[in-house]
Amino acid sequence: MLKHSIHLAAQADSVARADADGIAQTAKGVPSANTVILNARFSRPRAPLATTLAKRSVALSFGTTRHNDKGWLALSVRIGAHAARLHLPPLFIAWLTAPLATRVAASDDRVALGPLALLLEFAALDLLSALEAMGHGPIRLCEEWDMAHAVTISLSVSVECEGDRFDIGIELPVPLATLLADLLDELAPPAPADPALLPLHLMVETGRVDLIASDIISLMPGDVVMLDHAATMVRVEKGPAAPVRWIKNQLVIGGPFLPSPGHAPLSVGMNRMDAPQDTAWDELPLTMVFEHGRLTMTLGEVRALAPGSSIALPSAAQTRVDLIVNGGRIGVGEIIPMGEGSGVRILSLTDRHQGARRDETTPQ
């Protein structure tokens, strides 16, 4: 019986001439802010919607993940004054029509799309009737309807029942997709986002110096950059920073997070309208940061950091630092003592930096 039902679905698929390239793009036609917002609404995590389909309890989950629908049945649906399209895999059709096995068995193997659509509509009568009772009808399957110029939202729907799971596709015009999103928000509100799980990028640095572009371009391996006020800090992206210290190859927070100081202004040296253009660019102020490493923590984990908390970094990061300019890595250095202070000896520079230096020194 299952094989017979699959055979009928495959024949109906041939009659319907379903697209062989998979479910339509997420938003067909001209994309708009509405389609972006709708896709975001359907992507929000929420509990499955419990309902009844073919006299069986099912859980429906909605998403925007595309599925390869080659060989699936493409079925037009009229919902009120709008048209939609279903993409149904043969196994789901067999499962849906299983309670109507005698009717399927009595059908001609060369069944047309219309009779099969009526059969599917009858099999899903409980769910369709419930939707119509909520004012979303009438709903009729296999109505001829032109959707070629409609802006649609393509959704994936997971149907779960007693351990079985089927993925189907549905294309909805924006008005219907909006109604469905509103219905889901009412019946299965999305789980509120937990801000504590927001990922943050942390940088551990041991100092920074303000230089001009020509100074940075002229650097070579073996050069030493003095650190006027060397202090190891952990910085949250471009936000607050806290002092840290090395204790037995571990970084330990040494104080509270405070607002970070501002960066060197980019306007210095750029307002000299009488200076040659190359000279103005050579004097572009930049900040070089000496980073021990980077790591990612959640907002909740960062909030929990307090004096005495430890941060894990490779032990080699205690003396090695990356040379960071304008967010990009230009080389590697090592921290060395210099009198009562410290400095960074440049060990290597990236190919891009070396290329910039060659361009700078090449005779014109």
At 360 the pLDDT is 53
Distance (Å, whole) CA 355 – CA 54:
69
Closest CA to 233 of 249, 254, 264: 254
At 152 the pLDDT is 83
Secondary structure element (H or E) that encloses residue 180, with its range: helix 174-187
pLDDT tens by residue, 287-297: 999 999 999 99
Q: For 78-95, what is the mean pLDDT?
A: 90
Q: Which residues contact 191 (CB under 8 A, 6 or more apart)?
A: 44, 45, 46, 47
pLDDT at 356 over 60: no
pLDDT at 228 over 80: no
Which residues are 255's β-sheet partners?
Answer: none
Q: Mean of the per-residue pLDDT values for the chain?
A: 79
The type of residue at 131 is L
Secondary structure element (H or E) that encloses residue 73, with its range: strand 73-79
At 65 the pLDDT is 79
| Band of pLDDT at residue 243, cut at 50, 70 and 90 | very high
Structure tokens at 28: 């067909």
CB–CB of 120/8 below 8 Å? no
Burial of 34 (0-12, 13-18, 19+ CB in 10 A): middle
Percent of the chain with pLDDT over 70: 75
Secondary structure element (H or E) that encloses residue 173, with its range: strand 164-173
Closest CA to 77 of 66, 68, 85, 69: 85
Q: Which residues contact 54 (CB under 8 A, 6 or more apart)?
A: 95, 96, 97, 98, 99, 123, 124, 126
pLDDT tens by residue, 249-307: 788 999 999 987 654 444 333 344 444 455 678 889 999 999 999 999 999 999 999 99
Distance (Å, whole) CA 170 – CA 77:
10
pLDDT at 219 over 50: yes
The DSSP code for 39 is: H
| Band of pLDDT at residue 308, cut at 50, 70 and 90 | very high
pLDDT tens by residue, 33-44: 678 889 989 998
pLDDT at 97 over 70: yes
Percent of the chain with pLDDT over 90: 38
pLDDT at 215 over 60: yes
pTM greater than 0.75:
no
